Structure 1
């Protein structure tokens, strides 16, 4: 059973009780990610996520780790383009501790200057590791090509100059402007009593300032090309097209199109590019939705000499798919989508993440059966039409290690 209560300051508190569980997953979800940053402070959302673990509420970084691990729990966080999440998984009896740690990290971070200097070095190491991994960094290049000169097109990690520019005052400013109760969601799933959760939330998060954060700059999928000549053992190819946001009437038809062409060993790209031609080991496609935009993209890693053939085949597969997808392929994609959704809900963390995502997307609690019904209701004509619309729109491409004659 899902339940939702809104505190006087606007914080939404939701829960999903899961009979038979002895554990609880609790997460604080902030609708503030890298697309809310200025260019000068690109990377601050991610660095902020790191810094709250360095000391908060009178505890040092070590003491924070020891407090959660003393009770067998786990504390984690993640930042993406549209949000940041902080989560704790622990035995249900220790839920108050989980909320105490999360609230201290958001309301009472230390932000010591010497910690900031060290953590910037850690983030730079993370950035360097990503740049040394073409299959990771290629997607930053693709997003930059798709959304040029826009916050949505910038790296979540930032770059050397923007990271170096961030100060302690900037971190405090980010917290004050982005961590407002109306744009936060607190969710717990597992062995949880909703009324107790609400009482603990009011105690720990009642001091959060009310209000909403400013809307991020509107996204415009413009398209373009970025080609890196960096030497790599393989050529890395990506192509992207504008896709619907979520929710949007075209979202599920478009997502099912992406799944048919690029998800699993039976998908069209895997069968055509890898199984039939042997042109790539890794080849797939996916769709990522945002609040006001979406991006459908395909990826392949192939040899430098076969990059041209692989690229041509990928575009041919996509084009044919928009015209001749079959009922059998659609039914398979629906089965995979429904199974993926329901399997993700088998854990308390999966349930908490689902509830937060539905609240953020629909601004209400959505039972999984509603999503299953939406998927079941998609027709073959809708999927073909959605695919054709995406492929007819603007296109972005990014490559790494492709010979110059193949990059355009």
Structure 2
């Protein structure tokens, strides 16, 4: 399946979806109506929305298959003639979205479970910082919960504790999230608190200094974790000279130098309504929630000159540079290393195929109960390599680029054997893909995708993330169809396009004296005969 075909699969037409809603039986209209609603959310841009554009095809009647073809139009063409989506995937809780006059989107998914998660996701993270303010997004994550002009930190903690609620937050390279969970009766109060601490955060100089010490301690602890250091170094070397090279916590110098005006300036520039999504998932009524959201957030001024995340990404694009970063410690018991190639952004035509490829390669651990009985060729090859201890595929996507590769932990000797197996099995997929293994990988991916949305917090996070990166919530049936459309030919083409004779980035730490050099690894992207 070519990139153009998959690009069409990554887009759905509102007109074809509406036609499907009229033609399909009532019990099967969810896919069409969800696609239509999703298409109305936003007009995707090349950086933030699904790539390509689907040409509308005439509506076709005929049960589930007809509904899918009508909803997806020509995008359904890669699917086999007898393709069917299990009906259980069509019965999905709908996502309701209201856009306020200032551009902030309010989304809900109702699950009558007696509790709900409410959160604000911002399309801003460490990628949008300058070199001098690296760490500002993470610093704000700490400060927001330290009280507002109307409520001190102690009063906030007491109120949340009395409600039996909890708050949390996280920062990534492209997004920042603030969310809380409470029983149904306290959801309005939870939403009020969330709006207050976000819109009226005090950020007193004393709070800034206290949190600076907390973040510096966190910085020291994170640097003791091999995996965290490994992937921070990978971004630093792979995306050197670009914003994605910056760490989420920030450099130690920046953490020490950031002041209240720097944080205020970051909020003013990036915490714009059109870059924010308010989500409620669980026992929450959409109309009531949207009305409250308009009262709380409707007063946020929308700056007509404010850049969108897509504009900021386009102004400072990121790309991979073939490179190598190693932190050598000959006294360490193991070698930790990562080998990565540049992949694609969230909404690129090849994004779903990369998800399938990650599942196909999978992971392996020597001391796991299934260590010697896994059907994966990669796992079998590593099990026969005595020094290998653990290997796993990873797939990290951003707005305009991404990283795909394999991470490994191994004994410090014979590391060339471990790398040979890893690269050999990855490159082999350019010419040979086992159909049985591919079917199993796609089934496993669907299972993980459904399991990942279990619970109100996971549902809220997934809804917000999709609204920010795709401009809509993608129905589960559409995900299943997209995954099923990735065949052996698509995997071969993907590896040929992104892996075969392409630059690699390597990050390694620990006892890595025997890890082959970058040129040796680079040659393995097109041959295992050297």
For residue 262 of structure 2, what is the aligned residue in structure 1? Answer: 170
Whether 1:74 and 2:187 are equivalent positions in the alignment is: no
2:378 equivalent to 1:279 = no
Aligned counterpart for 2:145 among listed residues 53, 66, 89? 53
Tell me if structure 1 keeps the 8 A contact 2:168–2:179.
Answer: yes
Aligned to 1:222, which of 296, 312, 321? Answer: 321
Structure 2 residue 232 is the aligned partner of structure 1 residue 124: no
Match of 2:434 among 306, 326, 329: 326
| Residue 240, structure 1, aligned to residue 340, structure 2 | yes
The equivalent of 1:141 in structure 2 is 233
CA distance, structure 2, for counterparts of residue 244 and residue 65 of structure 1: 42
Instruction: Supply the distance in 1 between the matched residues of 2:498 and 2:335 (Cα, whole angstroms).
Output: 25
TM-score (norm 2): 0.74
How far residue 303 of structure 1 moved from its aligned partner, in angstroms, is: 1.6
Question: Counterparts of 1:111 and 1:291 in 2: how far apart (Å)?
Answer: 30
CA contact (8 A) 2:239 2:320 kept: yes
For residues 471 and 169 of structure 2, the distance between their equivalents in structure 1, rounded to whole angstroms, comes to: 23
In structure 1, the residue matched to 2:133 is 41
How many residue pairs were aligned?
Answer: 406
Q: Aligned equivalents of 1:339 and 1:261: distance in 2?
A: 16
Query: What is the aligned partner in structure 1 of residue 60 from structure 2?
Result: none
- Does the alignment pair 1:366 with 2:459? no
**Structure 1, unpaired ranges of 5+:** none
For residue 234 of structure 2, give the secondary structure of its aligned residue in structure 1: helix
Please, which moves more after superposition, 78-87 or 315-324?
315-324
Q: Distance in 2 between matches of 1:138 and 1:270?
A: 22
Alpha-carbon distance, 1:224 to partner = 0.9
- State the Cα deviation string for residues 234-278 of structure 1 (Å, max 9, x = none): 1111111011212122111122112211346644443322x3324
Q: Which residue of 2 aligns with 1:7?
A: 100
In terms of mean alpha carbon deviation, does 167-176 or 305-314 score higher? 305-314
Q: Report the counterpart of residue 252 of structure 1 in structure 2.
A: 352
Cα deviation digits, residues 58-84 of structure 1 (max 9, x gap): 323333222222111110000000010
Asked if the contact 1:236/1:400 (under 8 Å) is kept, the reply is yes
SS, match of residue 366 in structure 1: coil
Q: How does 1:77-156 map to 2 (within 5 A)?
A: 77-156=169-248
**2:506 matched residue in structure 1:** 397
| Bigger radius of gyration | 2
| Cα deviation, residue 196, structure 1 | 0.5
For the Cα contact (< 8 Å) 2:126–2:134, is it kept in 1?
Answer: yes
CA distance in 1, matches of 2:234, 2:278: 33
SS at match of 2:299: coil
> Which of 162, 166, 185 is residue 277 of structure 2 equivalent to?
185
Shift of 1:382: 0.1
Q: Secondary structure at the match of 1:59?
A: coil
| Alpha-carbon distance change, 103 to 383 in structure 1, aligned in 2, over 3 angstroms | same
Q: CA RMSD in A?
A: 1.7
Partner of 2:417: 309
SS in 2 for 1:257: helix
After superposition, the Cα gap between the structure-2 partners of 1:117 and 1:136, relative to the gap in structure 1 and judged at 3 Å, is: same
User: Alpha-carbon deviation of 1:361?
Assistant: 2.1
Q: Mapping of 1:372-391 within 5 angstroms? A: 372-391=480-499
Instruction: Report the TM-score, using the length of structure 1 for normalisation.
Output: 0.95
Where structure 2 has 5 or more consecutive residues not aligned to the other structure, the ranges are 1-93, 365-369, 518-530
| Deviation at residue 87 of structure 1 after TM alignment | 0.6
User: Contact 1:148/1:223 (CA < 8 Å) preserved in 2?
Assistant: no
Q: When you count strand as a share of all residues, which structure comes out higher?
A: 1
Q: CA deviation at 1:131?
A: 1.4
Determine if contact 2:387/2:412 at 8 Å carries over to the other structure: no
